[in-house]
Structures are given as structure tokens and as C-alpha cells.
Amino acid sequence: MDQYNIALIGFGGVNRALAQLVAERNDRWQTELGFRLNIVAVTDLNLGSVVSQNGIDARMLVETQWEKGGFARLSGGSADADNEKVIKQAPADIVAEATFTNPNDGEPAVSHCRWALEAGKHVVTTNKGPVALAATELNALARRRNARFEYEGAVMSGTPVLRTAKTMLAGSGLSGFEGILNGTSNFVLGRMEAGLGFSQAVGEAQALGYAEADPTADVEGYDVRLKVVILANELLGASLKPADVACQGISSLTVADIENAAKDGQRWKLIGSAVRQQDGRITASVAPRRLSVDHQLAGVNGAVNAVSFTTDMLGAVTVTGPGAGRIETAYALLSDIIAIHRAGPARPTKEAAE
């Protein structure tokens, strides 16, 4: 049985949920998966940082009501979050990166991932920015340092869309995809079908926690654009940047648009897609589309996500599942750790870490 030391960078919903899973399921993981997780470091801009050679009680981390700078109360703790120092020096085998990230340059998550990989530590992340903007660099760095850079949760949270396509659809002649990749916009469109105006539907999404105070990234398609870049680059061998993907959101749609589509047996959905053209070029876009009610994506409702892959041998293959949620996204980190464990050895070699 292996025990892996893990550092949590960011202690918001996702990494807090991972700590909760560690507290509740470590014994089960030892039996079912062959490893345990030992949290040796946590950083958070609001709470500070704490590092422990022997490990930090995961249940205590989750159940304590922390005040600003509260990690300073712990042995080895500080009110300051020195992410670079913690990532480089903490005795961690794996770094779980789950911070807020600027979608324009991927920072600070790109630097967090780079520091960890340079130190020969594996990285698991749910952040779209580093994958969409720096995956080539970070994967190359991981190979040089005998480490792994894993990011299953960057597209559909806990739904394993990347691994499904890479493993289950290998050799099927994958030539493109189209998907509903943002639960917030999908929820808003559903509420507009019920008669709500756009602003009212967005307000309801915010009240329910589906949308941020500034919902622009969701409703204008910017979140989907990053996910399209990731899928196209990972699965179709593209080298797209976000600027290469034409992007239109749903803010211009009206209730009348929704009603007119319904009269024609259609539904509006925000679709992110990419396709390999006959000359080998990969073209991609994000835009609202009217789908026939018998389309494989038309029945995807609420905050659920789905991707339909176009293959030569199987036709359309659709993967549907949760695209958000604390526990669901934390499971994506666990699935990355499982992949690292199964690839073995999960601990980088001494030479790689030096």
C-alpha cells in the first residue's frame, strides 16, 4: 500500500471537498485503490498557509471555521500564503492546484504548475487556464522531470470526458465534437424556456449558486471557448489558442427567440464545437444554436454537461454528466491521482526531483 503526500494549493470549494473525501474515504481508498493520501501542506490567499512533515488532520481542516489568516494558529502555519515557497519546499509527491485563475494568461495557476513540475512533483488540477494556454509547455516539463501533469476536471468536472475519448474511442476515427460545456448558460436557457427573461434567468442562476456575481465568462461563452481549446488540442491534435475560436454567447437571445424555436420543434443551446476539415485543419467555434428536439444534445437540461463525439466507426458517441459541483470536481482530482498511481511509480525519482 502506498501513501502519497499531497499539497493543496487553494482551499476553496474544490480542495476543501478533496480534504473532506480524504477524511471520509482514506480507509476505503487503501482497500479499493491501494493508496492513502496524506495532506502535508495547504495554502489559501485568505487563510494563509500551513506545512507539516507528518501530515495535517484532514477532518480538522474541513470542520474548523477558519477566520482570515487562521492557518497561523496551526503548528507550521502562517497568515501569509507563500505559494511558491510551499509548492517548491513542501514534502509533497503531488500538488493539487485549485486556485482562481485569470483566463487571459492562466495565472497564477500556470506558475503554480510550473514550480511544482520543476521540483519533480506531480500536478493535478481542475483549472482550465493552464491547460488551454500552457499544456504543451507543462506536459513537456513534466516529461523532463519524470512527473505527471493531469487535468481531467478542466473540461467537465468529475465526468471523465478526456480519458473516455482517449481510451474508449481510440482507433474510432474521431473527427470532431460538439457539446454543452457550461452548466450556467444551459440553466439560463432552460429558465428562458419557462418564460423568464434573460436577466431574470441569470439572477435566478446567481441565487442558486450556478452563476458568479459577474456571469460574463459563462453567458458570453468564454468559459466554453477554453474548454473547446482543451478538447480540440487534446483529442484532435490541434494547436488552437482561445483567439482562434470564434465565440458568441447567449445574452442577445430573447424569450421570443426561445418561443419561436419551440414552435418549430427546436431548442436553443450554447454549443462548443470543433471539426477536422478535409485538408486537416481544425476549425472551432462557440455559438448558440437551434437544435432539433431529437438531437442528442437537445435533452441535456439544467447544469448538466454533455459532449457528442463524431467518429468514423461508431457515428455519434455522447458522454453526459455533471459539469460542476464541489464533490464532483474533487473526484476529478482523485481520478487524476488514480491515473498517476496506476502509471507508477507515483513518486518522482530522486534524480528528477533534484
Q: Which residues are catalytic?
A: 227
- Residue pair 324/181 in contact (Cβ under 8 Å)? The answer is no
* 108 cis-preceded (ω within 30 degrees of 0): yes
Residues in contact with 116: Cβ distance below 8 Å, sequence separation at least 6, in sequence order: 7, 87, 88, 95, 97, 122, 123, 147
Cell numbers found for residue 118: 520543476
Give the angle 100-16-180 at the CA atoms, nearest 5°: 55
Cell numbers found for residue 45: 490567499
3-state secondary structure 84-139: HHHHHHCCCCEEEECCCCCCCCCCCHHHHHHHHHHCCCEEEECCHHHHHHHHHHHH
